[in-house]
Amino acid sequence: MSRKRIEGSERRGMPRWASGEDATIEFNGAQHPCRVGDISASGVRFKCDATLSVGDEVRLQLKGVQPLQLRIVRVGADLVAAVFVDGLQYLFR
């Protein structure tokens, strides 16, 4: 995974890193390909063709990482934003 840090006006509460990595979302028993836009210790933004709604819980599978439980917090025209249910802050210390 590329780890280009996003700075300036795009900065949020936690540092984010651009990704562009292909991944898979599991939702309602089906697998959906997606592309991760950026990732931080608290969440992730991704593009996916699955029909998702705020509050949905999904599993994100990244290459070489155990599946991660996500809760959808925003659904836009191009990107879906989600937070990690169990958090990932320990990975970014």
Q: Whole-model pTM?
A: 0.77
If you write DSSP's letter for every residue of the chain in order, what string do you get?
---EEE-GGG--SS-EEE---EEEEEETTEEEEEEEEEEESSEEEEEESS---TT-EEEEE-TTS--EEEEEEEE-SS-EEEEESS--GGGG-
The domains found in the chain, sorted by start residue, are: 4-92 (2.40.10.220)
Pairing of β 68-75 and β 80-84: antiparallel
Least confident of 2-6, 22-26, 37-41, 50-54: 2-6
pLDDT tier, 91 (very low <50, low <70, confident <90, very high otherwise): low
Share of the chain above pLDDT 70, in %: 77
Longest dimension (CA), the chain: 39
